[in-house]
Amino acid sequence: MARTETTEHDYVVVGAGSAGSVIARRLLDQGHSVHVLEAGPADDDPMISTPQAWPGLLGSDMDWAVPTSPQQHANGRSIVWPRGKVLGGSSSINAMIYIRGHRSDYDSWAYNGCPGWDWDSVLPLFKRSEDHVDGASEWHGAGGPMPVSRIADPHPTAFSFVDAATTLGIPQTDDFNGERMSGVGFNHVTARDGRRMSTWQSFMAPVAGHPGLTVTTGAHAHRVLFDGERAVGVEYAVDGVVHQTRATAEVVLSAGVIGSAHLLLLSGIGPAAQLKEFGIEVRIDLPGVGENLHDHAIVFNVYEATRPLPPGKANLLEAQFFAGTDSSRPGPDLQPLFFHVVYPAESYPVPEHGYTIAPGIVRPLSRGTLRLSSADPEATPLVDPNMLAERYDLEALVDAVEMCREIGAASAFDEWRKAEMAPGPEARTRDDLRAYVRRAVSTYQHQVGTCRMGLDSLSVVDPSLRVHGVPGLRVADASIMPAVPSGNTNAPSIMIGEKASDLILADR
């Protein structure tokens, strides 16, 4: 590959997604120069800004669409993981649900070796980002870069879903990010005036002309550059031409659960035996890189409708509920969703008109790995989440399926329901439902954990997000999460960006 000259900036941020966009903005606001590297294109496709269009973005040129290895406990199936490859990252292709998770998620992080990440410490960071439609309150912020809205005109079937759940004893909640997370209700979304508001549009588009900002799209990061032990830059390629960008202060990896761990491995930071296998010089033997990979798990109960459904006005995913399989647990472990469209269950019939009730678990116990497939920096790594390896995950998901079938059969859906297509009337026993889950389980698109934060021997970054043993290098994205929060991961990733920027600026 041809090479060109090197550029220099205060900071280099790899990845323009949910965390990277926040970090870049906060550093710019303090007068620092920032070079943002993004592997994908600009976010100018009109489908991105249209809240109803997100399913069409999956599998597009703006999606990494990473296949997992065959999943031993899911009938040997490979599951495709959507991951944003565009300015805004996954916040530009997701379904825009704004959920923080339960306070016990973050208290657990702190208890297990990550001081400063407890709920009381991170709530102000969540609020700082927000410009919530309700205004400032105990639970929400106003005036921040990220618009958060209520769904103003929910779909009629979303009302049916909420009504059906309440008849089964699930309480209704007005705000999943408020005092009580458990219950059924309508989502809050990262949209405003009928347009998606990704982190790039919210945090970075308003400062696009900042003299300290350099943005390079189509930039595939190949490795971190070093001067002695210190990280000092990144080598990357654009259209086959290799470039270098130098950071006088720090390099920040915000390339996501796959990209950040992959880049560490390519840079000689990871399990020594694996690096040697691929001929990569070992810079730091850090055995936790690529470990702890996990994801929320979901299946899709599909219903044929009695007639065509009217089009929706929001994000297609307007309602959901949080519940627990065990009332003694501090927070919910189930998060079923409602789609007023058909979201197909793999290998099941797809009706022309219908809707979907999607059982999901949000506190999985199964853990997997990310591994190199090649020393080629543009080769896709091997991702194996080891889904359903833990018996709890299977049983909790079956519990969720049973709850969602009860909701689907409730009288609130009588005018809409023609037939249940998946798992279908032939699924009668719990064993039938276990077989259904193994046949149809999919991704919630909430992968985390491959650069886990902590102080133990398998952690990758410390509680200040500094890579162990590597001065000048941090990781700040969903990969640092010790355990996935019990909810969608976009809002927590934004919070990680806020926290990271505070930590970086404090050291500066």
Q: Which of 391, 489, 390 is nearest to 449 (CA)?
A: 489
Helix segments in 50-132, DSSP class H? 103-111, 119-129
Report helix, strand or coil for 444: coil
Question: Would you say 200 and 91 are in contact if contact means Cβ atoms under 8 Å apart?
Answer: yes
Secondary structure letter of residue 203 according to DSSP: I
- Chain-centre distance of CA 218, in angstroms? 21
Instruction: State the catalytic residue, choosing from 132, 220, 340, 446.
Output: 446
3-state SS track over 449-462: CCCCECCCCCCCEC
Is residue 444 marked as binding? Answer: yes
β-strands 369-371, 382-384: how paired? antiparallel
The answer, yes or no, to whether the previous bond of 206 is cis (omega within 30 of 0) is no
Q: Does residue 86 have a known ligand-binding role?
A: yes
DSSP state of 153: S
Query: β-strand 183-186 against 319-322: which pairing, if any?
Result: antiparallel
446 is catalytic: yes
Say what the alpha-carbon torsion angle 484, 489, 493, 499 is, to the nearest 10 degrees. Answer: -60
Virtual torsion, Cα 82, 86, 88, 91, nearest 10 deg: -20
Q: What angle is formed at CA 301 by the lines to CA 299 and CA 306, rounded to 5 degrees?
A: 155
Q: SS in 3 state form for 383-452?
A: EECCCCCCHHHHHHHHHHHHHHHHHHCCHHHCCCEEEEEECCCCCCCHHHHHHHHHHHCEECCCCECCCC
Q: Residues comprising the binding site? A: 86, 444
Q: Residues comprising the binding site for FAD? A: 86
**Residue numbers annotated as active site:** 446
